[in-house]
Structures are given as C-alpha cells and as structure tokens.
C-alpha cells in the first residue's frame, strides 16, 4: 500500500485502451466531470445483478438478505473511507447535488428565519448555489458569497467581514471544479465556528483525490459523489453527526423512511433510513464500495501525490505554451487546471482537440457566477486522475498547437 502509482494502473481501466474518431487513442482529461471505472467496479456491479439482485430491507428471503448485507457493507466502507463520525450518519443519495438539496430543504427549511444568512463563495458549483437560493426564497434567508483574489483563492479577509451572528451556514467547496483551487478548510471551519455557523463542505472534487477524514475536519455536513471516485453514477453520500440528522425533518417521503403510517400521519424510521425514501441505488452502492476497496489498495496519499505531480506539471507546461492563459494561480491546486487559448471560443477548442482524441471540458462548467468574476462566458478545463500520465498532457499541448494553427495564430 501507498506505493507510487505507475502507468501500469491504466490496465485496470478498460475504457482507457479504446480509440475515438477512428484510430485516435483516447486521452481522457475530463475526470472532474466523472472518473473512469476500473474492472473491479464493473465486475462488482455486474456480479451484483448476476448473483444477488433483490430489494433491500424488505424481503425475508436469501437474496434480499444478501442484497441488504452488501448495501450496508458499502455504507460502512464509505463511512470508514471518509472518516464518518457515525455510521448512522452516512446517508446514501444520488450524489453531491441531492445531498446539498437534502441539507438545504431539511435543515435549512426548518432552521432558517428571515434575515438569516447562508455564506457560499463565488467559485461554487451551481449545485452549491441554487439549493440555497431555493430555501432562501422559502424562508426569507439571504445568500451571500465570499469573493476571490485575482489568483483564484478565497478572499479570506472579506470572508471575515461577511461572517456575523446572522450567518447560520457556511457552505463551501473543498476543491474548485473550475479553477482547481484547494480551499483551506481548517481556516474556513475555524472562522465559521467562531461566528456560530454550521459548515457544509462540498467534497465532490476532494474525496476522489485526497485523504478525507470528516471527523478530524469537524464539519457539520460533508457531501460527495461516487461517480467521481471510480464508482458508478447515481450514488453519493451526505455525512453528518447522527444528533444533527436526528433533529432534521425528512427530505423525501415514501417507503423505507417510515416507522408507522396511518392516513392521519406518520412517524419516521431510524437513521440513516429516515433520509432514504424509496428503493435505493443498491448496485450503485455496491459498485461504490468496490471503488473504495480499489482506492484503498492504492492508498489516498499515493493518489494525492500522483494527481498533484500531474497537475503541477500540466499547469507549468500550459503556462509556458504560446497562446495559453491559465484562469487561476491558486496557492494549492487540486485535480483541475483551466485555461483560455488566445481568444478562440472554448467550445471550438474542445471540439478541435477532441479530433485528436483528447477529451477536455469547455463551457461555464456549472459555475456561472465564477465566469462573471473571470469576465468570460466559458473556460477550457483539463482535469486529472491518478491514471493519467504526463504523456496525456503532451497530447493536449500538441492538439492545442494544431488548433492554433487552424485559427491562423
């Protein structure tokens, strides 16, 4: 464990050996959108459907018991991997977006009062903006945002001024999907706690690439998505202390989440089931459990070192490349580096580099307030995983040079 990760790791990921546009080897640099899946995860999902498929927590038969066992084992794996303070406080959701909506509607909807403030930041993904706006409309609370420095870090001095006894929640991403910035969560937590606010950390872009220990971090809510960490789509988690979740009303109503139902009213199941209405994504949870077992064999310190090395190299080489301007120079960089190529529209850039087999993202990357801050409607983004190589960056740079030539630069 904790060995350094070599390019041999690529053999674990079937899709990485495919070609696109005829004979172009795939260079996958869109990992912030979703990661690829190792054979172990694909086999776990297929194996679950082949061998075990049944509904959970209901049937009194062998398959139902096995399915329930595998689903609950996945919950324990997720909780252990992320340092959940309490196994009952690991709620399976569809992903980061649903987890944030759960907190906004359930916690926010029951606690927020007119004039209360929710503090986010200008670099947030839409899924850490819009749910707060929805609950603010319902409750009369106000959403405020910490601005950024020119380098693309949070402006912590302004954050100090924005925090007050009106601040009920600080909800901030640990790593920006758009700029790659790694935010200082310890500092954010200390400031927010001093103001008496609860803290939600959006771990969508941190959990895939670095060790996370929610208990040591000390946040109230931690959210992430399985599909960005080698697991299947449609599964994610909300992690929170049980006593906080106990005090929150249900988010969705239906089967699984009740204790007693009468036509007049209902009572709720114990945690975590109170927040898991309906048939859950059982195969997704099993696949995520397999993804976590896979990541554990690599060791998250080794994953973090590898991604850091790849992204620092990419940021260095991109910044020296004629025509390329980086969108940010953050103090610490996570898995992504974003840029502009001269004044060529980012959509054109992404489409043209795709012709060389290089998959990057273009657009507002679900961060329109950040685009407003940057003064441009869109960016290009290359985002890395531990299975990428420096040769992938070389392919990107070559494809960018071809693109510039086509545009007459």
Q: Does 173 bind ligand 7TS (CB under 6 A)?
A: yes
Q: 267 to 296, contacts with ligand 7TS by CB under 6 A? A: none
Task: Closer to ligand 7TS by CB, 117 or 124: give it.
Answer: 124
* Smallest separation (angstroms) from ligand 7TS to the CB of 119: 16
Write out the chain in H/E/C secondary structure: CCCCCCHHHHHHCHHHHCEECCCEECEECECCCCCCCCHHHHHHHHHHHHHHCCCCCCCCCHHHHHHHHHHHHHHHHHHHHHCCCCHHHEEEECCHHHHHHHHHHHHHHHHCCCCCEEEEECCCCHHHCHHHHHHHHHHCCEEEEECECCCCCECHHHHHHHCCCCEEEEEEECECCCCCEECCHHHHHHHHHHCCCEEEEECCCCCCCCCCCHHHHCCCEEEEEHHHHCCCCCCEEEECCHHHHHCCCCCCCCCCCEEEECCCCEEECCCCHHHCCCCCCHHHHHHHHHHHHHHHHHCHHHHHHHHHHHHHHHHHHHHHCCCEEECCCCCCECCEEEEEECCCCHHHHHHHHHHCCEECEEECCCCHHHHHHHCCCCEEEEECCCCCCHHHHHHHHHHHHHHHHHCCC
Distance CA 381, CA 373 (A): 17
Distance CA 50, CA 362 (A): 38
* Smallest separation (angstroms) from ligand 7TS to the CB of 68: 25
* Smallest separation (angstroms) from ligand 7TS to the CB of 370: 11
* Smallest separation (angstroms) from ligand 7TS to the CB of 339: 15
Instruction: Report the residue from 52, 121, 167, 177 that binds ligand 7TS according to the rule CB under 6 A.
Output: 177
Q: Does 212 bind ligand 7TS (CB under 6 A)?
A: no
What's the distance, Cα to Cα, between the start and end of the chain in Å?
Answer: 47
Task: Closer to ligand 7TS by CB, 68 or 176: give it.
Answer: 176
Q: Does 127 bind ligand 7TS (CB under 6 A)?
A: yes
Task: Output phi, psi for 61, to 5 deg.
Answer: -130, 170
> Contact at 8 Å (CB) between 145 and 167?
no
Clarify whether 366 is annotated catalytic: yes
Instruction: Report the residue from 45, 103, 204, 291 that binds ligand 7TS according to the rule CB under 6 A.
Output: 204
Task: Closer to ligand 7TS by CB, 202 or 392: give it.
Answer: 202
Q: Does 12 bind ligand 7TS (CB under 6 A)?
A: no
* Smallest separation (angstroms) from ligand 7TS to the CB of 381: 7
CB-count burial class (<10 Å; 0-12, 13-18, 19+) for 255: middle
Task: Closer to ligand 7TS by CB, 70 or 202: give it.
Answer: 202
Q: Does 97 bind ligand 7TS (CB under 6 A)?
A: yes
Pull the structure tokens for residue 280.
Answer: 């859950």
Instruction: Report the residue from 32, 146, 283, 290 that binds ligand 7TS according to the rule CB under 6 A.
Output: 32
Instruction: Report the residue from 101, 105, 205, 393 that binds ligand 7TS according to the rule CB under 6 A.
Output: 205
Instruction: Report the residue from 75, 125, 198, 308 that binds ligand 7TS according to the rule CB under 6 A.
Output: 125
- What is the β-pairing status of strands 198-202 and 167-173? parallel
Q: Does 121 bind ligand 7TS (CB under 6 A)?
A: no
Q: Does 403 bind ligand 7TS (CB under 6 A)?
A: no
Question: Under rule CB under 6 A, how many of the chain's residues touch ligand 7TS?
Answer: 16
Task: Closer to ligand 7TS by CB, 85 or 180: give it.
Answer: 180
Task: Closer to ligand 7TS by CB, 91 or 269: give it.
Answer: 91
Q: 357 to 376, contacts with ligand 7TS by CB under 6 A? A: 365-366
Task: Closer to ligand 7TS by CB, 68 or 206: give it.
Answer: 206
Q: Contact region for ligand 7TS (CB under 6 A) — 64-72, 92-100, 208-216, 286-294?
A: 92-100
Task: Closer to ligand 7TS by CB, 68 or 177: give it.
Answer: 177
Q: Contact region for ligand 7TS (CB under 6 A) — 89-97, 252-260, 298-306, 347-355?
A: 89-97
> Which are the catalytic amino acids?
366
Residues that bind ligand 7TS (CB under 6 A): 32-33, 95-97, 125, 127-128, 173, 177, 202, 204-205, 225, 365-366
């Amino acid at each position: 464990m904790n060995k350094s990760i070599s390019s041999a790791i690529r053999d674990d990921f079937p899709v990485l050996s495919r070609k696109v546009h005829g004979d172009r080897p795939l260079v996958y640099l869109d990992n912030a959108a979703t990661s690829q899946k190792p054979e172990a995860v694909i086999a776990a999902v297929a194996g679950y459907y082949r061998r075990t498929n049944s509904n959970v927590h209901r049937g009194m038969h062998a398959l139902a018991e096995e399915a329930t066992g595998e689903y609950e084992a996945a919950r324990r794996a997720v909780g252990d991997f992320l340092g959940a303070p309490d196994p009952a406080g690991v709620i399976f959701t569809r992903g980061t977006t649903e987890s944030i909506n759960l907190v906004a509607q359930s916690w926010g909807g029951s606690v927020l009062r007119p004039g209360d403030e929710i503090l986010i930041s200008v670099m947030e993904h839409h899924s850490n903006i819009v749910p707060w706006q929805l609950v603010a409309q319902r409750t009369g609370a106000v959403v405020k945002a910490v601005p950024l420095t020119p380098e693309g870090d949070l402006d912590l001095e302004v954050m100090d001024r924005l925090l007050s006894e009106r601040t009920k929640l600080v909800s901030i991403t640990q790593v920006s999907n758009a700029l790659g910035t790694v935010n200082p969560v310890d500092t954010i937590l200390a400031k927010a706690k001093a103001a008496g606010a609860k803290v939600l950390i959006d771990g969508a872009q941190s959990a895939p690439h670095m060790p996370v220990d929610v208990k040591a971090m000390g946040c109230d809510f931690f959210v992430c998505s399985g599909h960005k960490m080698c697991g299947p789509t449609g599964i994610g988690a909300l992690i929170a202390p049980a006593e906080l979740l106990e005090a929150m009303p249900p988010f969705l109503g239906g089967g699984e989440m009740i204790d007693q139902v009468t036509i007049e009213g209902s009572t709720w199941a114990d945690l975590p089931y109170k927040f898991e209405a309906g048939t859950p994504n059982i195969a997704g949870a099993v696949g995520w459990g397999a993804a976590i077992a896979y990541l554990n064999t690599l060791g998250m310190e080794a994953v973090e070192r590898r991604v850091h090395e790849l992204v620092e190299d990419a940021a260095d080489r991109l910044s020296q490349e004629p025509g390329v301007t980086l969108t940010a120079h953050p103090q610490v960089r996570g898995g992504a580096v974003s840029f502009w190529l001269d004044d060529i529209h980012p959509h054109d850039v992404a489409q043209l580099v795709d012709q060389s087999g290089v998959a990057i993202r273009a657009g507002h990357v679900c961060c329109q307030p950040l685009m407003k801050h940057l003064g441009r409607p869109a960016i290009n983004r290359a985002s890395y995983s531990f299975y990428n190589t420096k040769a992938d960056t070389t392919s990107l740079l070559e494809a960018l040079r071809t693109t510039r030539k086509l545009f007459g630069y």
